[in-house]
Amino acid sequence: MQTVTNILDKARYIGDELLDKTVIGSYTWPGYYLRKLWWDDHISDATALQGKICIVTGANAGLGKIVSKQLASLGATVYLLCRNLKRGEAARREIIDDTANENVHLEIVDLSSQSSIKEFATRFQQKNQRLDVLINNAGVLLDERMLSADGVEMTFATNVLGYFSLTNLLMPLLKNAAPSRVINVSSGGMYLARLNPDDLQFEKRPFDGVQAYAESKRAEVILTEYWAKQLSDAGVFVHAMHPGWADTPGVQTSLPNFRKLMQPFLRTPEQGADTATWLAVTPDIANYPNGQFWFDRQIRPVHKIISPRNTPDEIEQFLKICEELGQTEN
């Protein structure tokens, strides 16, 4: 019996690896359905997250809204961090109506603004002693270079400094709730990028939105590894994941041509959100090494053969810039 199980596991592993190499087959809905055949953990227990406090950024649309809904349906108290009151309130109402969980709260936060993040963290800490799950999800892919209110290039401000500062400021509450979890929503696009710590904000190169996005998503994986190293002893599990290609408002506005081409094959937002929610709830989280990059509930390498790599000095330089521009502690 054991031998049969081993052979099946091996077959599954090889099949999954081959599927991943196709990229298109892997990132679209066929990849999701094929892998789902092997999952025995269907995250449907309506009390799995009862008593847990969760934060989801960028929660009014796309993957963030679905993750929030999934967490609420598992009994969590969920804080939706959104920048727009009307859109945020509409999402909050929809989540409460769909899940019958009244413990869904809206907080207005602009994740590209350091003062907005700091104000929120202070407010949140006055009301809460613990945070069980933080999902850093809010992200942008822009077609022109824009600056945040702090004068920082907007992709870097939102996708990197937003994750960096919010996580650092909420760290005491995550430690209070240990074992707790931070899940950083990255992208498969990060495989094509290395950090450029001499020009993180595209001041020395012509702006390329897709490149800026890919570099920011690589930065999120590097931050994940950095925090995981720091926090393993504190019982805070930090992981990154990527959703594949899911049909969301973000893809519709930022990548219209890609969407037109791929639409029949794009994942639903629910399929894209699955691994983030699973990481938030799986009881097995402590059995995996901290700081991994996940896709479809499986640990994935952070580099492929094609991936350009950063040196330790470049990573240190990058972290120093994050510390200069972002928040490290309250």
Ligand X SMILES: NC(=O)c1ccc[n+]([C@@H]2O[C@H](COP(=O)([O-])OP(=O)(O)OC[C@H]3O[C@@H](n4cnc5c(N)ncnc54)[C@H](OP(=O)(O)O)[C@@H]3O)[C@@H](O)[C@H]2O)c1
Which residue's CB is nearer to ligand X, number 87 or number 194?
A: 87
- Are 54 and 133 within 8 A, CB to CB? yes
According to CB under 6 A, which one of 6, 50, 84, 115 is a site residue for ligand X?
84
Q: How far is the CB of 327 from ligand X (least distance, A)?
A: 15
Q: How far is the CB of 273 from ligand X (least distance, A)?
A: 8
According to CB under 6 A, which one of 87, 105, 118, 145 is a site residue for ligand X?
87
Out of 27, 32, 79, 213, pick the active-site residue: 213
* Torsional class of 291: left (φ above 0), alpha (ψ -120 to 50), beta (otherwise): left
Nearest to 328 by CA among 200, 170, 221: 170
Q: How far is the CB of 36 from ligand X (least distance, A)?
A: 17
Per-position b or e across 252-264, b if 16+ CB within 10 A of its CB:
eebbeeebeebee
213 annotated active-site: yes
Q: How far is the CB of 158 from ligand X (least distance, A)?
A: 5
Cis bond upstream, residue 172 (ω within 30): no
Across-strand partners of 181? Answer: 133, 237
Q: Contacts with ligand X: how many residues (CB under 6 A)?
A: 29
Check binding of 248 to ligand X (CB under 6 A): yes
Q: How far is the CB of 311 from ligand X (least distance, A)?
A: 25
Q: CB-hemisphere CA count at 13 Å for 310?
A: 23
Q: In terms of DSSP H, where are the helices of the chain?
A: 2-21, 24-27, 29-36, 62-73, 85-99, 114-127, 154-155, 162-176, 209-231, 249-254, 256-262, 269-281, 312-325
Q: In what order do the strands lie in the sheet with 53-57?
A: 104-108, 77-82, 53-57, 133-136, 180-185, 236-241, 293-295, 298-300
Backbone angles phi, psi at 91, to 5 degrees: -65, -40
According to CB under 6 A, which one of 52, 69, 83, 218 is a site residue for ligand X?
83
Which residue's CB is nearer to ligand X, number 101 or number 112?
A: 112
According to CB under 6 A, which one of 28, 60, 180, 201 is a site residue for ligand X?
60
According to CB under 6 A, which one of 31, 197, 243, 291 is a site residue for ligand X?
243
User: Site map for ligand X, 124-143, x if CB under 6 A?
Assistant: -------------xxxx---
Burial (CB count <10 Å: 0-12, 13-18, 19+), residue 13? exposed
* Residues of this chain, 148-167, that bind ligand X according to CB under 6 A: 158
Check binding of 117 to ligand X (CB under 6 A): no
Check binding of 58 to ligand X (CB under 6 A): yes
Distance between CA atoms of 75 and 54, rounded to whole angstroms? Answer: 10
Q: How far is the CB of 113 from ligand X (least distance, A)?
A: 7
According to CB under 6 A, which one of 16, 28, 31, 64 is a site residue for ligand X?
64
Which residue's CB is nearer to ligand X, number 156 or number 177?
A: 156
Distance between CA atoms of 248 and 187, rounded to whole angstroms? Answer: 14
Check binding of 242 to ligand X (CB under 6 A): yes
Residue 39 in tokens: 């999952």
According to CB under 6 A, which one of 67, 104, 152, 185 is a site residue for ligand X?
185
Q: What is the DSSP letter of 246?
A: B
Q: Which residues bind ligand X (CB under 6 A)?
A: 58, 60-64, 82-84, 87, 110-112, 137-140, 158, 185, 187, 242-243, 245-246, 248-251, 272
Provide the annotated active-site residues: 213
